[in-house]
Structure 1
């Protein structure tokens, strides 16, 4: 059985449920441990009665060390601080042989067992950003991404994990300082610092807005297949990281940060499935009652409304730059 953990609050409820549903669709045998970062999220997840998940209340997860640093960090920084501690908590509390941390804004397209199997006898799995060169932020954001990483309950695995937990408790902020950034740049030297660390090779693990430009996608026998332009290597897409995806004004979405270009191929094969997965999750959450919030809407993109030309393009086409209407995915050219 594959064991995963994640953490999110009610603002990410639909995204977290979509991620869980995708695991349930593609993974034969798994369990997901969810640290609910607010009471509304905890109550909703319990009400959903997810058969392959355990829901952990924030008050049960937090320890003295975390509470001691909580007030000095922003909500985002505290979330980053808790990622490593969540893995440790799950391994120790539930006596797991391994645990894989996954960001709540992932969607699985294939069984992630292939990623675990690639580790072999190694104890830690880390994933590179694999930045497209023009977007390379390794110096500031880190070589590796805290989006999907596995620790086995071995001496090597727990040595690395305990070091990371302590490092994040000591310093985890949204700024560059002494070659540190958040919880992420700590990973830069792990292949040299620790024994038993494996850098993921499978191209289907870790596709994200900062590297998706390197690939073309198509549907083959019900699966999304990618082709790397540089090598012409083919791979099955295992998961995609929907970094900076946001619910915005007027039933619309910002697909990602505006610096990352997306083409029709990527929107058709990667972003449309995500929007449909979110709509399914929202419907499930909506059945719990009107009082349950599935997501938090931002004011991103409202500037489109302020210029009639932009608004006209958005209204007629269903999109403008990185902003797409819900109806575009439901009734647009990809249907």
Structure 2
């Protein structure tokens, strides 16, 4: 029998556990009924998630999806590149674990729901497509980034059981062939492959017509906050025990502060809950500070650090 739940899948390691918990908190507010499948990139995060017993969360061990093809390319990829290579494989894993699931949505672990994602799913249903992808929707000042990173963002990608197999399978094969953190001959990571999907698969691929639903640092200046269904916190990092970098490399307008204030509250609550369990989350290994110092003048206004207990200002 088809499941009434929306099935989401993400992947992260122990360092990203607070992000995953913040995502889960947002699903509890805006995404029910749901099941959140987590591909655990290390045994520690799998153990912690079992200990936390978060409602609706299911774990999938990395070893359960690592076949011979993945293990063959794993030594050739950085940790981030291997995560990207894994992404197309997560759909089949969930469909296998949940035979009742009629569709699966891959969602990045640093994405946060700010309202119901129902309009996104409604658009897919109305179109009768097999896959839905989201446009970066770059603000004009960042439009040039699409040439390298792609028109589309993997962040929130919906695939139907059965009908999406050829599309996701094609993506998986391309990522096994090449998936690196650099631009090369029209390729970039797992993401720029999506630029070819409409050409290859036509109307089976639906591009979300409303980019205002999927906001992020690179497009938030174009839209009103109340239009968003999700916000992608790319660049959000805890760079010291009590310091957070909200964003890096973008000019984020004041009206987006409500997103960062709410997200930081969930992130902080996750850290506090983990502390009560005796779990210490390591500070992020993502440290762009050397690049920041090297290009300080160019980046003035594009990076913001706040204390972990920052509460923001202005209306919620």
TM-score by length of 2: 0.88
* Distance of 2:213 and 2:96 partners within structure 1: 26
Q: Report runs of 4+ in structure 1 exceeding 6 Å deviation.
A: 302-305
Aligned to 1:6: 10
* Distance of 2:30 and 2:147 partners within structure 1: 35
- Which of these two proteins has the greater Rg computed from alpha carbons? 1
Verify the 8 A CA contact 1:249 1:301 in the aligned structure 2: no
Select which of 104, 121, 128 maps to 1:116.
121
Aligned to 1:316: none
Say if 2:277 is the partner of 1:288: yes
Aligned to 1:315: none
> 1:134-213 residue pairs with structure 2 within 5 A?
134-136=141-143, 137-155=145-163, 157-195=164-202, 196-213=204-221
Query: Structure 1 residue 5: deviation in Å?
Result: 0.3
* Distance of 1:180 and 1:304 partners within structure 2: 26
* Distance of 2:266 and 2:41 partners within structure 1: 22
* Distance of 1:116 and 1:298 partners within structure 2: 33
How many residues were matched structurally?
A: 300
> 1:70-149 residue pairs with structure 2 within 5 A?
70-95=74-99, 96-120=101-125, 121-136=128-143, 137-149=145-157
TM-score by length of 1: 0.83
Assess, with a 3 A threshold, how the Cα gap between structure 1 residues 84 and 333 changes in structure 2: closer, same or farther. same
Name stretches of at least 5 consecutive residues in structure 1 with no aligned partner: 218-224, 226-234, 306-318
Say if 2:269 is the partner of 1:262: no
Say if 2:39 is the partner of 1:57: no
* Distance of 1:31 and 1:93 partners within structure 2: 12
Assess, with a 3 A threshold, how the Cα gap between structure 1 residues 204 and 320 changes in structure 2: closer, same or farther. closer
Verify the 8 A CA contact 1:179 1:185 in the aligned structure 2: yes
Select which of 231, 248, 251 maps to 2:239.
248
Aligned to 1:228: none
